[in-house]
Structure 1
Amino acid sequence: MTTPPGFGFAEWFRPGEYARTEQAVDAIAATGARYLRTHLSWAEYHKDGGEAWYDWLLPKLGARFDLLPCIHYTPPSLSRTGTASGAPRRLQDYADFVDHSLTRYGRHFRHVELWNEPNNLLDWDWHQDRDWLLFSEMIGAAAYWAKQRGFGTVLGGPCPFDPHWLELMGQRGVLAHVDALGIHGFPGTWDSARSNWDGWPSLIARAREIAARFNAHAEIWITEAGYATWRHDGAEQARGFLDALSAPAERLYWYGWQDIADTVPVQEGLRFDQRHYHMGVVDTAGYPKLLARLLTRGGVESVASTLQLAAPRLTQSAHPMLIAGGAGFIGSNLAESFLRDGHDVVLLDNLSRPGVEQNLAWLKDRHGARVSWHPADIRDEPVMREILADAGAVFHLAAQVAVTTSLEAPVADFEVNARGTLNLLEAVRRSGRRTPVIFASTNKVYGNLADLEMIEHDDRYVPADNAVAAQGIGEARPLDFCTPYGCSKGVADQYVLDYAKSFGLPTAVLRMSCIYGPRQFGTEDQGWVAHFLIRALRGEPITIYGDGKQVRDILHVDDAVAAYRALLADIDQVQGQAFNLGGGPANSVSLRMVLREIARLVGHEPAVSFSGTRQGDQAYFVADTAKLSAATGWAARIGWRRGIADLHAWLGTRHTPRREPARLIA
């Protein structure tokens, strides 16, 4: 059995991107990548500041990775066409720059790549060199001299693969001086769209057949392979990575590391194509997509084992329970409840929440083929229609869940929460079946409740209105969207209710307060009870935003699952209605009260600091659940102290104190 080659990333760093480079280097190294391919632009080097930039960049990269610099782009002042893609007027100038680069930077790498995508008009102007005579002479001389100096040489890969061009390079003697042939391929993004992709083995076999006649020792390196996630299909990117890694090549460079902001031109003169901007394994803000997250968590094995959980077909059951966001905290607990009772369950989840792949593996381990996972995104409308066509009931818990994230990326927040919900509703409507849809909304649709007068006590706020203090906030409270998150969830909330009125779909909404319990991977932005416990168990400091006297009615996830199931059981009676869901006055606690209980459970006082109140935060929210109880008979049964103890027991086996406190990210 052959051992798969190590992998690396191809990433272009633009001059001046010092901070991005520092962040990327650490993050790339955390994935287990051995190699890094980047460009050493001859044109940029000769601009103001270019020399200083590469003096900083190449040692930085070479210290962490087996570095492959790709030397390309002619300084316009030396070009026959006045552009970076033109041949230099004096071909020897390129070999001289390669020689200069080897002298100045050669201690940081072992191989050098000579040009990039020479059959791409934007990288090499073959209109002025139709038979590649200029290119062959220029690269042949540079390759010969680099070899004489003891460096390995890589011939820049054509894209798309062109056997006739490669044959020409052999006949011209270029292949005799290279150690590896670079090839590129983008199945599912460009190649398959042009119906010219028949797999890595076939492409590599053709390259080896040509190389064998001119240089039998030349290796094949995949210097660029990638998949654009513009359809938000991160699992397909991960599959493409595994496929390329298993190809019969000696090395793989995955393109690329980070998405490009749409304000940055990909290449001068290139018509905008959104696929170019979504080739990274992290987004423009550096947030990891599925592939980067799985590689960082457990390497290639983690990617392979997670994708093996995906279902090849929908399910054996004709009308399974479908849970969008089913690998998440509430979704996985809801799925377990139905599976335990003998139902088949389909999980629709793109695994965008860190850690939820553990919930997915847990469900598959317990229930096998009776649980199906589809790694789709609710923004992918055609896929939604296919998967939802035969569902027996739909629980919609897929969402962007953090107020802070919505303030940083309001458009993405809208696309997931509002447009994604509309996609789901339309998929159900177009199925022609009256499939029940139960939607997870939020108490944030009521705004920040700033009009409620509060009485401040030592450790909590209490409403001055005795009726609110005794019963909580009811559904009659006017909607008052606040923050992009409140807006997007509020829009979705109202669409779900309207589809019952306008189209007769049996839909219902649960406006949730704070849910907590096992299988929750809480963060500073969402899932605060679990987040506090995790930090305390690890011996890490906790930051409180505000004074900690804010009050919430926390609800154990088992009680939340019972509420979702109760609505489904009575959907004919409750359709078209919204219900508040929380622990009610009996489970109303302040953050300070929860911290005291956590201290008792873990046996020490956690280190706590305070920061400013976050935008949209409510000083008080306790749900009046009388309407839900009257309609379904539901009631919260797990008291908050017993519930937190249950969460502590689950988390306690997974989190241990660290030697040094982790740094909180502002």
Structure 2
Amino acid sequence: MKLSNKSILVTGGAGFIGSHLVDRLTLENPDNMVVVDSFFLGKEENLNDAMKNYPNLKILNQDCSNYEQMKSIMENEGIDVVFNLAVIPLPACLEKPAWTFKHNVDITTSMCELVRNDIFDTLIHFSSSEVYGTSVYAPMDENHPLNGTTPYAASKASSDVLIFSYCETFGIDASIIRPFNNYGPRQNDRSYAGVIPITINRILRGEAPVIFGNGKQTRDYLYVTDTADAAINIYKSHKTRSKVLNIASGKEVSIQYLVTSIAKYLGCENRIVYEPPRTGDVKRHIANIYSAEDLIQFKPAVTFDEGLIKTIDWYKSASKENELKNELSTAVKNLPISVN
């Protein structure tokens, strides 16, 4: 299946993974492409590259849980395919658990109802490896128990079950992509940031890197462009319909190794600070990706170390750019004011 003659909508498209997916979708030359984002975490600047490659890209500020508003957008734009990445992130659920759970499920419900009512044709929904919780067995395949330990994980697991119920009951055309721990340029480094951008930015500020817990907890890291490629290939393969596919590297990396690697590459001389474990933190994650290899011939193109260097270099460049902007802003403020 091609995307070249389709009208595509990417919810959450101004976010980290979403913006990389939009970048990749521009290469498919779709007839029309729309990004809908509430900008809870997304940033319009994340779409700068996409706008250069696809000048007609439409960017709309909208809560994706609002059925009527999304229906209006989809009808106006003649949407055929939705890549659904709209989500309230995990750390938010530690502050607002009920709101996070309800909002994430409401987004999915809205998408399911819209596709059921033939407002669009195909839903590619982004789940999360958090639905599994800490591994009961390794590597974790798609049949692994859903033992998520946070309200965020519960919201993503509930969303997956909801989609499968619509596939079974109403025959909607949908596939679920279940990414593990993505990393790369543009990952959120503000509120609710992940360990990689937090660690990089701490070291760039001259602060000591921090590990919560003993550092032995593991993650399965995948460079973000590999996930974007996989999402498109999942759409293109009818074999993936009504299925969920793990998208990951199939290799586990300890937080200790991760933080040490970042510190070494940046020449950090500060010793790692160890803090108490975080609430709901998963102890072990490693994916079985046999289904993705079989159904879409998935194979990561970027190794962990290659991706980490690319990521660190991007944040270093962004940090220098921000420093220059701040220096320029300060210089402008300090200019003498002439009075005629």
In the superposition, the TM-score normalised over structure 1's length comes to: 0.45
| Residue 546, structure 1, aligned to residue 213, structure 2 | yes
Partner SS, residue 40 of structure 2 = coil
Deviation at 1:407, TM superposition (A): 2.5
Q: What letter is aligned with 2:229?
A: A
Secondary structure of the 1:655 match is helix
The aligned residue for residue 429 of structure 1 is 116
**1:535 partner amino acid:** R
What is the 5 A alignment of 1:172-321? 319-321=6-8
Judge conservation of contact 1:388–1:428 (CA < 8 Å) in 2. no
- Check if 1:633 corresponds to 2:297: yes
2:201 counterpart of 1:534: yes
The CA RMSD over aligned residues, in Å, is 2.1
Q: Which amino acid aligns with 2:35?
A: L
State the SS of the aligned residue for 2:163.
Answer: helix
What secondary structure does 2:305 align onto? helix
Residue in structure 2 matching 1:376, options 58, 62, 73: 62
Distance, in Å, in 1 between the alignment partners of 2:191 and 2:303 is 24
Any stretches of 5+ residues in structure 1 without a counterpart? 1-316, 453-464, 659-666
Counterpart CA distance in 2 for 1:524 and 1:479 is 27
Structure 1 match to 2:331: none
Does 2:96 correspond to 1:418?
Answer: no
List alignment gaps of at least 5 residues for structure 2: 324-340
Contact 2:209 2:263 in 1 (8 A): no
User: In the aligned structure 2, how far is the partner of 1:579 from the partner of 1:531?
Assistant: 29
For 1:597, which of 239, 252, 261 is the aligned residue? Answer: 261
2:274 counterpart residue number: 610
What residue number does 2:171 align with?
504
CA shift digits 1:347-398 (9 cap, x unpaired): 01011116x22213443344322x1111110122211111234222111111
Which amino acid in the other structure matches residue 431 of structure 1?
D
Instruction: Select the residue among 116, 133, 155 that pairs with 1:488.
Output: 155
Higher relative CO (CA 8 A, sep ≥ 6), structure 1 or 2?
2
How many angstroms apart in 2 are the aligned matches of 1:553 and 1:416?
Answer: 27
Match of residue 441, structure 1, among 115, 127, 132: 127
Q: Do structure 1's residue 621 and structure 2's residue 296 form an aligned pair?
A: no
Q: Supply the distance in 1 between the matched residues of 2:243 and 2:58 (Cα, whole angstroms).
A: 30
Structure 2 letter corresponding to 1:330: I
* Alpha-carbon separation, structure 1, partners of 2:190 and 2:296: 32
Mark the CA change 1:498 to 1:448 in structure 2 (over 3 Å): closer, same or farther: same
Larger CA Rg, structure 1 vs 2: 1
| Aligned counterpart, 1:65 | none
CA distance in 2, matches of 1:513, 1:351: 23
Residue 597 of structure 1: how far off its partner (Å): 1.6
Contact 1:395/1:437 (<8 A) preserved: yes
Among the aligned pairs, what percent are the same residue? 27
3-state SS, counterpart of residue 318 of structure 2: coil
Cα distance between partner residues in 1 of 2:172 and 2:83: 14
Could you tell me the TM-score, scaled by structure 2's length? 0.86
Q: Which one of 54, 63, 76 corresponds to residue 367 of structure 1?
A: 54
Aligned length: 316
**Partner AA of 2:170 in structure 1:** F
- 1:520 paired residue among 177, 187, 192: 187
Q: Would the alpha carbon gap of residues 415 and 606 (structure 1) be closer, same or farther in structure 2, given more than 3 Å must change?
A: farther
Secondary structure of 1:654's counterpart equals helix
Q: What does the per-residue CA deviation read over 1:136-179, in whole Å, with 9 as the maximum and x for residues that have no partner?
A: xxxxxxxxxxxxxxxxxxxxxxxxxxxxxxxxxxxxxxxxxxxx
Residue equivalent to 1:400: 88
Contact between 2:79 and 2:119, CA under 8 Å: does it hold in 1?
A: no
Q: Are residue 569 (structure 1) and residue 272 (structure 2) matched? A: no
Q: Which residue does 1:476 correspond to in 2?
A: 143
Q: 1:605 and 1:384 mapped to 2: Cα distance?
A: 50
